[in-house]
Every structure is written in C-alpha cells, then in structure tokens.
C-alpha cells in the first residue's frame, strides 16, 4: 500500500535529514480516534505560526548538538577530554532549554499539547537545579577559556610552557609579502587532524597543561560529578515528537511555495467524501523540483455513491488522481494537514491498494491468477469503512475477460461497501450501478497532445480525446454549427 | 604594488565580462582578424587583446594616459618585450614548480619556498632593468612603475625576504601557542617567532623552568605519527602564509603579464602593418558633447591584414558637428569597408591603441553597436525583418545617449518603402537621444528623405563610381543618387549575355 500510493517516497522525503528522530513509524501509524487527530491538528495550527516553529527549530538544532557532544563524552577515554565533552553538552542543553522557555513564553499557543509542555518547561527552568546547572557551566567554561599555553615541537620531543606573548610569525610572513597582493587571493587551510579522537601525544600535552594549571581542571572534575544526569526526560521526548510536526510543515511550506494549498481535513464518521484542490504530494514534490506544474482536482462522493471509476486518455493523470485520494486518506488518518483547499472524509479503518504489477508476457496467466488472489484477499478483509484503490487491475488478459472479471469484482466491491477508486480504461465499468461515479481525464482542446491532468466528473464516453482534436479544427458540433450559420 | 600601465588608477581586468554585443561587433567589424594579428599565435595575447579592446575607455584623459604608455612601448619595443618575458617566465616557473601537492603542508611549504626563491631572482631582474633604462621612458605609467619597483624592492627588502626563506626551514623546531577548544583539544594554533635569546638553562641543554617535556619513547609508532601531526599544524600555518604570499607575488606578475601583454599585442600589430607600409597614428580623443570625426587615410585594418602585401584603400572624412553619416552609392563600392574602418578606429582609439589612419580624431562614445545585414545578399525571406528588428531592439536595450551605432543595409529585408519608414523612425529617435549614427544604405527613399531634411546634422557620402562604371572603393562626399548600380554588377557577371 505504501509503495503503491508513493507514501514511502513521501515519508522518506518528509523525514529526510532527520534519521536520528526515527520519525517514519510516527508517519506510518494511523490514529484510530478523531479526537487524537484533532489534538494533532491543534499543535499543527500553533506551529503554523512562524515564530513558534522558528523557536522549536532552533531548539532542535541545539539539542542535536547536545546529543553529538554526549556521544563524544561516551566515546573517549582521556579524562580531561571526556569531561570537556560533558561540560559542553550541558552548556548547549542549558542554552537550548533556557532559550526555548523564554521564547515560548512570548508565543501565542492554543493547543493542549503545546500549552501543557510550556507549563512543564516553565516549572523546570525556575527550579534551583536548573539555576545551579547554568551557574556552574558558566564558571567552568570561563576558567577553561582562559587557558593558553606554548608548544615547541622538535624531533622526538614536545615542550609545553606557560603562555608568553610572542609575535605571530605567520602574520609576519604575510605582512612582508602583502605589498604584492593584487586581489582577494585564496587561503590554504589544512585539515591537519581529521581524527575525531584525541591521541596520546595530545593527551600528554593536555596533562602537562593541567599540571601547570591544576585549579581549572579540578573545577571541571567537580562539575561532572555534580551534574551527572542533567537531561530532563520530558524535554527529551518533546524534542523527538515535535519533529513530526516540524518535518511535515517544512515539507508543506516547500510545496505551498509553488502555489499549492493544504488544509485541515474534517475527518469523522461521515459517508461523504469531498475534497477540493487535491493533488499527489509525491508528484508535487518532484515536479516542483523540476519546475513543473501540478494540476489539482476535485472529488465529491455523496451517499449512496461509493465508487469512483476513472477512465479517459492515457497519460492523463488517472493513476496520479487515484494515488492522491489514497494519500489523502492516509495523511488524514495520521492527523496532518492534507493537500487541497478543503477536505471532508471518513476515518477509514484500512486502505487497500490493488495495482497492476509489472508485466511479464511469458507468465500472463500466473499474473492474472496473482491479481485475482490479491483482490480476493482484500475483499475478504475490507469493510464498509475501508478504502480500496484499484489501478489497471486485471489488465493482463483479453478485454472480454477483463470486462467479465471487472463486472464481477465491482459487484462484490459494491456489496462489501468500501469507498473505492478504480482506474481503468474499461468505460463500461463506469455505468454498472448508481453507486458508481464516473470521472474522466481530459485533454486541452487547443493542444490535444498536451496533457491537462484535469479529472472531471463526466460520463465515460470514450470520446474526450477525439473531441479535443475536433475542437482544434472547429469541427465539434457547436463550432461547426456556428461556421455553417453565416 | 600595482602595475597601472593600462589605467592610471586601476588594474586592467581581464575577467570583466565582454559587452553583450561583443560577438556582433567581432563578426560585423571582422575583429577576430585584428585580435589574431595582435596575438601573433599566442592564445593568451588573443584573450588580452579582445578583452581590452572591448573594454572601451570613455574618458579622453584615460585614453591619453594609455597612449603615452604605448608611445614608450613603440619606442622601446625590445625592453617591453623583455619585461613581458620576465612576467611570463615567473608564471611559467610557478606552474612548473615541483608538485601541486597542497594536501600536504610539508610539500606545499617546500614548494612555496622554492617558488619564492625563484621569484626573488626575477624581481631583482625587474629592478635592474628599471635602474638601467627608466630614464628613457617618458610616460607617467612607466615612470611610476619603475619608481615603485626601485623603492619597494630595495636591497633591504630583498635581504629580509631571504631571511624569511631561511627561517622557514624551521631547523630550531616549531613554536606555537594554543588554547583549549572543544573536547579540550588544542585549538587556535598560532605560529610564534621567538623573541630574545635562549636562557642559560636552554643553552646547557635543560628545558625552561616549569616546562613540561614529553619525549617520544623508542618504537612508539603511533606517538611518532601524532608528533608529526602536531608538527604539521605548525607547518600548515607557515605553508598557508607562504603559499598566500607566493600567490600575491604571482598575482603581481600576472597583472604585469596582462598589462604588458596588451602593449606587446599592440607591438605585434604594428609590426604586421608597418612591414607592408600601412600608416598608423595615435588618435586624438575629444571630449564628449559635440559630435566630431576627422580622419585622413583611414583604412579597414582587418581588410588590410587579410590582403597580404596589398594595401587597403584609404579614405578621408570630415564629420565635425555631424551626428549622422549616411553612406550611399555603388554596390561593392567600399561602403561596408568604410563603415567598418570607422567602427574599428573608434574602438581602437578608445582602447588607447594606435588607429589605422594617418590621422584620426573623434569624440569619445559610450558604447559602439553594429547592426549589419546578416548575409551580403539580402533575400526577402519571411521572418527576416522580424529577426532584424529583434536585433535592433537588443541594441536599443543597451545603447546609451552617447553611443555610436553603425547600421549597414539595415531594414532592407522588406520593401524599400516600408524599410525606409522604419529606418527613418529609428534614426530620428536615435539622433534625438544623442546617439551618433553611421548608416550605409542603398534605400534611396530613406537616404534622399534624410538628405531633404538637410538640417546640417547629417553628412552624406557616396561610394565613388567612375564614369565607365569602375569602382575606386573610395568614399567621397556626395548626395544620394537614385540607383545603386546593381545593374553594373549584373552586366559584369552576365557579360556574355549582352
């Protein structure tokens, strides 16, 4: 289902660059309860405020730093090095939390989720423990920043001495030749030491420095002992879960820039499906990247209508449309804003997809058999609360066979009662039952070769494409009549 | 230190973008032949010539400054070529210096010391040439250059340079200062030079009081590597400083090569023209404000260069106070050639070069534009007028009030009446906006119309045709005549028919 609807792509691109938060499971797990969806919508609406999301984003950046630094502390074994990683992590953390608390205080929040967290944060920041963390961090940092020393490197020997001011020889050399400089010129930075860990010569030098300035390093020791568990568990959880919102909103923002809309769907116990300005989110992302244009479509399905049959010219956006409907339902179920200007839809219990698999001519029969087995399994499980998307199903046989199978399967679908979208080139399926709505892909009358990707509600007459060509030559009925009526 | 031979107050910039109409100018005026003659087979000089010629000067004083430097060059061609040779050699040696291994500080430092050592020798030669010959140079540009070299590269400076090169071998170990960075690892390394003499403890082989010494144990390979890494830090700082310094000197030599290169290219061109007896002159650039052109013996330099030993036909022109020059007359009578020579002369004058004439003066113009018929034989293909007007529109996008626009058979791709009307409207608009126009046309309707207006702003020239129909390829003052004598050519080509 995820692959058929390109949801895997969408989730991958929404969560790209956020592997550390392990967000994919959050985007895959649907909510079962409309109130849970509403709870997320509230948080999303709060974060649509640019100030709010900027505050969260800055916090997230800093917390990433904290994790990096703690990982540093965990991975090294020289004491002075490890302790400094730990100090820096605590420092970054204190700054992140303090900044978040003070910024959130000025942000207009309405969601239950965020206001509760803000209350927790305010209490935490006001606690004596947090005050002590900040004071100690600052003191030790300042002491370490004052440490300077001199090195003399000779063959087989390093000498560490206390700092004395001496001329910067590199600068002297540069100054001597500065007179020749004609323009900006480039520099030659060397990444001399790429190793992430301290080596034993560095450690020995650091020991020497520590011996020459023992008080500073004693302070560092003391800091680490007294702030062993500085990370607040609630704050850590917030740091991960808020990324669901930030990641998705960033994705939304990119796509909105191309003029497309998102909305908060009305999801609930309804038998009506109504959406305007719907588009395929995966396609939108890749088209926007290439400067392409995305065509939004509308869909309405009122009880007792349950099935949409999409037919019309190839390459007209039929599959994309079907996919967009599937995506819409999944996105609505995880409580995020959905593509479109407005949407009302039922909270479905499951989304099933039945897409034609890649064809291999030599085993047509086994493919058809596979197709049938898959639809059989789906129809076994699907309920009237489900969504089923069928795309060019059973295309691996003759048209007569397809019609036969199609009619039978449609009948069973109607009996089961799931909302169903069927992409097919069999026009006949569109008029089987009053519960079936027919939609067709269209072409631009002025340039029939160009695909418009517009899908409109219209009887499937198999003529849409031919009519477009006729119109170009002013040979459609109204045009021809007007030309003859002189 | 600056070179400042091409401009009084700024460097010659070869990176500057060519004007948008550079290709049109090259094609219409045949400039690639000019650049090739200036380059004399050297691709670098071709680039210098092209970019400098297109970067027109529009201040008469700036033109005269460069002309004065050029005059010195014409007088001392061998010295100028020698100076140019030093710059070329410096760049060449740097390029061929061993290794480009900037990934390793050690090798970069060694390379820089090596290159710098060679540069010092070349700088010394530069100074010596100046010391010996500066007196023979008269231009402000050269006198300033030689004076600067004499003061900036005096003995004390060159000696100090050699001291640096010696110290940068670090026979005494590498001294640095450092601070504590993330993870308490050393950061902010700064290379240090010791001041004062070593104390007594050091002189008898002890370490400084309070010093902490770490010595590499035998067979500690990791330690040896770490120590080398630490040494590399210091070397890297030195290597960066010295490589940048080398680049600075190199950039000076490069600037010298560029600016001298332009004058060497001029020398190349002179040699080519003078050897076949063509005249050259330094033009007189006039302040903008009043349109003026005065030319004697003006010829198409590119045509001459492509004619081998034959000289090009020369023309005189007196267009003082005229902002419109209309050239009519016999087909294949030298009209286009004349128009080209006018464009070339304006361009060469504003590049501070000599001009292909015995005498030339003109007011400086900001922007030269050419609108030439694309094929010599205009067919009335549909869409051609559209193409022509598109190009004209492109010119109007870029032209300024004091530009010079050369029109060659423009708007002739439609019938004469329409073409004339378009031409008239465009010319009028251009003139009223201060643009100077020279227009070669065989459209009698247009030319006679402009002539009839007769407000003294316009000068009318005609390609000469002798009474027997032969052409002299000379252009003389004369009003437009109702035929362009295409019939003559027809008859010559189809002689057997008659």
Task: Assess if residue B359 is contained within a domain.
Answer: yes
When the pLDDT of each residue in chain B is averaged and rounded to a whole number, the result is 88
Compute the nearest-CA separation of B1 from chain A (Å): 5
Whether residue B154 contacts residue B147, with contact meaning beta carbons closer than 8 Å, is answered with no
Nearest to B241 among A153, A170, A179 (CB): A170
| Domain with B126 in it | 57-169+247-275
Nearest to A151 among B176, B185, B194 (CB): B176
More confident residue, B12 or A465: B12
- Please state the rounded mean pLDDT for residues B313-338: 89
* Contact: B214, A179; criterion CB under 8 Å: no
Whether residue B450 contacts residue B459, with contact meaning beta carbons closer than 8 Å, is answered with no
Q: Is A88 on the interface with B (CB under 8 A)?
A: yes
Indicate whether B343 and B476 sit together in one domain.
yes
Indicate whether B420 and B370 sit together in one domain.
yes
Whether residue B371 contacts residue B395, with contact meaning beta carbons closer than 8 Å, is answered with yes
Whether residue A264 contacts residue A337, with contact meaning beta carbons closer than 8 Å, is answered with yes
Dig out the tokens for B382 from the structure. Answer: 């549909």
In chain B, residues with a C-beta closer than 8 Å to the C-beta of A159 are 207-208, 211-214
Q: What is the pLDDT of residue A99?
A: 94
Whether residue A376 contacts residue A287, with contact meaning beta carbons closer than 8 Å, is answered with no
Residue A2 confidence class, pLDDT cut points 50, 70, 90: confident
Indicate whether B401 and B363 sit together in one domain.
yes
Residue at which a domain ends, from B275, B292, B321: B275
Nearest to B178 among A88, A151, A211 (CB): A151
- Please state the rounded mean pLDDT for residues B436-449: 88
Residue A227 confidence class, pLDDT cut points 50, 70, 90: very high
Task: Assess if residue B192 is contained within a domain.
Answer: no
Res. A441: pLDDT tops 70: yes
Domains and CATH numbers, chain A: 31-146+228-242 (no CATH), 151-182+198-209 (no CATH), 260-484 (3.40.50.300)
Task: Assess if residue B188 is contained within a domain.
Answer: no
The proportion of chain A whose per-residue pLDDT surpasses 90, expressed as a percent, equals 58
Whether residue B161 contacts residue B173, with contact meaning beta carbons closer than 8 Å, is answered with no
* Contact: B212, A160; criterion CB under 8 Å: yes
Compute the nearest-CA separation of A38 from chain B (Å): 45
Indicate whether B405 and B444 sit together in one domain.
yes
- Please state the rounded mean pLDDT for residues A413-427: 87
Q: Is A321 on the interface with B (CB under 8 A)?
A: no
CATH number of domain containing B434:
3.40.50.300
Indicate whether B457 and B391 sit together in one domain.
yes
Indicate whether B289 and B265 sit together in one domain.
no
Out of A72-81, A221-230, A440-449, B158-167, least confident range: A440-449
Q: What is the Cα–Cα distance from A460 to A442, expressed in whole angstroms?
A: 11
Q: What is the pLDDT of residue A278?
A: 94
More confident residue, B413 or A109: A109
Residue at which a domain ends, from B275, B290, B312: B275
Task: Assess if residue B218 is contained within a domain.
Answer: no
Nearest to A172 among B193, B230, B247 (CB): B193
Task: Assess if residue B20 is contained within a domain.
Answer: no
Res. A180: pLDDT tops 50: yes
Q: What is the Cα–Cα distance from B4 to B12, expressed in whole angstroms?
A: 8
Count the domains in chain B.
2
Q: What is the Cα–Cα distance from B152 to B23, expressed in whole angstroms?
A: 42
Indicate whether B411 and B269 sit together in one domain.
no
Q: What is the Cα–Cα distance from A47 to A371, expressed in whole angstroms?
A: 44
Task: Assess if residue B3 is contained within a domain.
Answer: no
Indicate whether B383 and B304 sit together in one domain.
yes
Beta bridge partner(s), residue B369:
B405
Residue closest to A255 by CA, chosen among A290, A281, A275: A281
Q: What is the pLDDT of residue A359?
A: 47
Residue A361 confidence class, pLDDT cut points 50, 70, 90: very low
In chain B, residues with a C-beta closer than 8 Å to the C-beta of A179 are 1, 152, 248
pTM summary value: 0.63
* Contact: B230, A158; criterion CB under 8 Å: yes
Q: Chains A and B: how many Cβ contacts under 8 Å?
A: 211
Residue closest to A311 by CA, chosen among A442, A458, A440: A440
Task: Assess if residue B11 is contained within a domain.
Answer: no
**Sheet strands (E) in B71-145:** none
Indicate whether B290 and B406 sit together in one domain.
yes
pLDDT in tens, B321-333: 999 999 988 767 7
Dig out the tokens for B468 from the structure. Answer: 């027997």
Whether residue A69 contacts residue A85, with contact meaning beta carbons closer than 8 Å, is answered with yes
Residue at which a domain ends, from B259, B275, B291: B275
First to last CA, chain A: 58
More confident residue, B377 or B477: B477
Res. B68: pLDDT tops 60: yes
Q: What is the pLDDT of residue B2?
A: 94
pLDDT in tens, A92-117: 999 999 999 999 998 999 999 999 99
Q: What is the pLDDT of residue B139?
A: 97
Res. A398: pLDDT tops 70: no
Q: What is the Cα–Cα distance from B192 to B9, expressed in whole angstroms?
A: 38
Q: In sequence order, what are the residues at sequence separation of 6 or more whose Cβ sits closer than 8 angstroms to the Cβ of residue A324?
A: A278, A279, A280, A281, A297, A339
Out of A64-68, A335-339, B325-329, B389-393, least confident range: B389-393
* Contact: B244, A185; criterion CB under 8 Å: yes
Q: What is the Cα–Cα distance from B228 to B214, expressed in whole angstroms?
A: 14
Task: Assess if residue B21 is contained within a domain.
Answer: no
Helices (H), B350-462: 384-398, 416-432, 444-453
- Please state the rounded mean pLDDT for residues A252-280: 91
Whether residue A337 contacts residue A263, with contact meaning beta carbons closer than 8 Å, is answered with yes
Dig out the tokens for A183 from the structure. Answer: 């323009």
Q: What is the Cα–Cα distance from B183 to B53, expressed in whole angstroms?
A: 58
Length of chain A as a residue count: 486
Torsional sign, CA A136, A141, A147, A153: positive
More confident residue, B158 or B202: B158
ipTM over 0.95: no
Highest-pLDDT range among A417-426, B267-276, B487-496: B267-276
Indicate whether B265 and B326 sit together in one domain.
no
Q: What is the pLDDT of residue A333?
A: 95
Indicate whether B325 and B471 sit together in one domain.
yes
Residue B463 confidence class, pLDDT cut points 50, 70, 90: confident
Q: Is A71 on the interface with B (CB under 8 A)?
A: no
Concatenating the DSSP letter of every residue in A364-414 gives HHHHHHHHHHHHHHHHHH--TT-EEEEESTT-SS-HHHHHHHHHHHHHHHH
Residue A467 confidence class, pLDDT cut points 50, 70, 90: very low
More confident residue, A131 or B409: A131
Distances (CA, A) of B236 to A43, A260, B113, B181: 52, 52, 13, 18
Indicate whether B252 and B350 sit together in one domain.
no
Q: What is the pLDDT of residue B497?
A: 45
């Amino acid at each position: 289902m995820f692959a058929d609807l390109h949801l895997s792509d969408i989730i991958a691109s929404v969560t790209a660059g956020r592997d550390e938060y392990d967000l994919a499971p959050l985007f895959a797990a649907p909510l079962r309860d409309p109130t849970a969806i509403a709870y997320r919508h509230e948080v999303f609406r709060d974060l649509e405020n640019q100030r709010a999301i900027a505050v969260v984003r800055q916090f997230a950046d800093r917390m990433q730093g904290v994790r990096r630094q703690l990982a540093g502390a965990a991975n090294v074994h020289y004491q002075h090095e490890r302790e400094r990683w730990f100090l820096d992590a605590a420092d970054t953390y204190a700054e992140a939390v303090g900044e978040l608390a003070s910024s959130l205080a000025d942000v207009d929040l309405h969601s239950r989720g965020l206001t509760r967290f803000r209350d927790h944060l305010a209490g935490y920041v006001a606690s004596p423990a947090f005050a002590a963390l900040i004071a100690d961090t600052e003191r030790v940092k300042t002491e370490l920043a004052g440490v300077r020393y001199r090195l003399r490197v000779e063959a087989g020997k390093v000498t560490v001495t206390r700092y004395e001011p001496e001329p910067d020889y590199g600068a002297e050399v540069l100054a001597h030749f500065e007179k020749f400089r004609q323009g900006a010129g480039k520099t030659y930075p060397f990444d001399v030491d790429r190793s992430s860990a301290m080596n034993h010569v560095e450690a020995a030098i650091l020991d020497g420095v520590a011996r020459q300035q023992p008080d500073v390093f004693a302070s560092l020791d003391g800091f680490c002992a007294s702030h062993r568990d500085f990370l607040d568990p609630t704050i850590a959880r917030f740091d991960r879960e808020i990324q669901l919102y930030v990641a998705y909103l960033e994705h939304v923002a990119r796509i909105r820039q191309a003029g497309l809309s998102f909305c908060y769907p009305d999801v609930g116990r309804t038998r009506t499906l109504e959406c305007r300005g719907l588009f395929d989110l995966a396609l939108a992302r890749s088209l926007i990247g290439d400067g392409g244009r995305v065509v939004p479509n509308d869909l309405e399905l009122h009880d007792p209508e349950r099935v949409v049959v999409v037919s019309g010219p190839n390459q007209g956006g039929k599959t994309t449309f079907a996919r967009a409907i599937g995506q819409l339902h999944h996105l609505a179920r995880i409580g995020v804003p959905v593509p479109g200007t407005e949407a009302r839809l039922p909270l479905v219990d499951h989304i099933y997809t039945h897409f034609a698999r890649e064809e291999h001519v030599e085993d047509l029969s086994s493919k058809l058999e596979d197709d049938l087995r898959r639809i059989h399994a789906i129809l076994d499980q699907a309920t009237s609360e489900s969504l089923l998307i069928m795309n060019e199903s059973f295309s691996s046989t003759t048209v007569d066979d397809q019609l036969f199978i199609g009619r039978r399967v449609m009948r069973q679908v109607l009996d089961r009662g799931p909302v169903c979208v069927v992409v097919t080139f069999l026009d006949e399926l569109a008029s089987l039952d009053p519960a079936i709505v027919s939609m067709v892909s269209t072409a631009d009358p002025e340039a029939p070769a160009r695909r418009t990707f517009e899908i409109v509600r219209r009887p499937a007459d198999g003529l849409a494409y031919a009519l477009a060509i006729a119109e170009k030559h002013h040979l459609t009925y109204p045009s021809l009549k007007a030309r003859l009526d002189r | 230190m600056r070179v400042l031979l091409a401009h009084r107050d700024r460097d010659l910039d070869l990176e500057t973008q060519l004007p948008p109409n550079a290709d049109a100018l090259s094609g219409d005026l045949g400039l690639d032949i000019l650049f090739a003659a200036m380059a004399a087979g050297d691709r670098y000089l071709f680039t210098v010539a092209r970019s400098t010629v297109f970067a027109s000067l529009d201040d008469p004083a700036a033109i005269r400054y460069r002309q004065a430097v050029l005059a010195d060059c014409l007088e001392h061609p061998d010295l100028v070529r020698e100076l140019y040779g030093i710059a070329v050699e410096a760049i060449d040696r740097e390029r061929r210096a061993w290794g480009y291994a900037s990934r390793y500080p050690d090798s970069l430092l060694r390379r820089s010391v090596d290159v710098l050592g060679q540069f010092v020798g070349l700088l010394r030669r530069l100074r010596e040439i100046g010391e010996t010959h500066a007196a023979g140079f008269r231009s402000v540009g050269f006198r300033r250059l030689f004076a600067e070299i004499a003061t900036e590269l005096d003995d004390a400076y060159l000696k100090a340079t050699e001291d640096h090169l010696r110290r940068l071998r670090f026979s005494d170990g590498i001294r640095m200062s450092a601070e504590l960075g993330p993870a308490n690892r050393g950061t902010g390394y700064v290379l240090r030079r010791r001041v004062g003499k070593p104390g007594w403890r050091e002189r008898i082989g002890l370490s400084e009081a309070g010093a902490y010494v770490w010595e590499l144990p035998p067979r500690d390979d990791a330690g040896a590597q770490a120590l080398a890494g630490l040494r590399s830090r210091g070397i890297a700082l030195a290597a960066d400083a010295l490589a940048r310094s080398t680049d600075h000197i190199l950039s000076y030599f490069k600037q010298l090569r560029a600016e001298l290169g332009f004058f060497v290219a001029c020398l190349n061109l002179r040699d080519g023209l003078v050897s076949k007896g063509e005249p050259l002159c330094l033009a007189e650039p006039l302040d903008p404000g009043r349109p003026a052109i005065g030319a004697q013996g003006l010829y198409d330099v590119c045509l001459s260069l492509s004619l081998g030993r034959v000289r090009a036909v020369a023309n005189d022109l007196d267009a003082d106070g005229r902002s419109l020059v209309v050239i009519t007359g016999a087909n294949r009578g030298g009209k286009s050639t004349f128009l080209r020579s006018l464009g070339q002369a304006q361009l060469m004058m504003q590049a501070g070069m000599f001009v292909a004439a015995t005498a030339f003066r003109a007011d400086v113009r900001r922007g030269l534009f050419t609108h030439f018929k694309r094929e010599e034989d205009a067919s009335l293909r549909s869409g051609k007028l559209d193409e022509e007007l598109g190009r004209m529109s492109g010119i109007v996008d870029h032209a300024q009030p004091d530009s010079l626009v050369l029109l060659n058979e423009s708007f002739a791709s439609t019938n004469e009446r329409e073409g004339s009307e378009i031409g008239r409207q465009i010319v009028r608009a251009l003139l009223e906006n201060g643009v100077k126009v020279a227009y070669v046309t065989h459209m009698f309707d247009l030319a006679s119309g402009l002539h009839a207006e007769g407000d003294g702003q316009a000068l009318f020239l005609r390609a000469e045709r002798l009474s027997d129909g032969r052409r002299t390829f000379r252009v003389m003052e004369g009003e437009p005549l109702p035929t362009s004598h295409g019939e003559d050519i027809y008859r010559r080509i189809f002689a057997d028919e008659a």
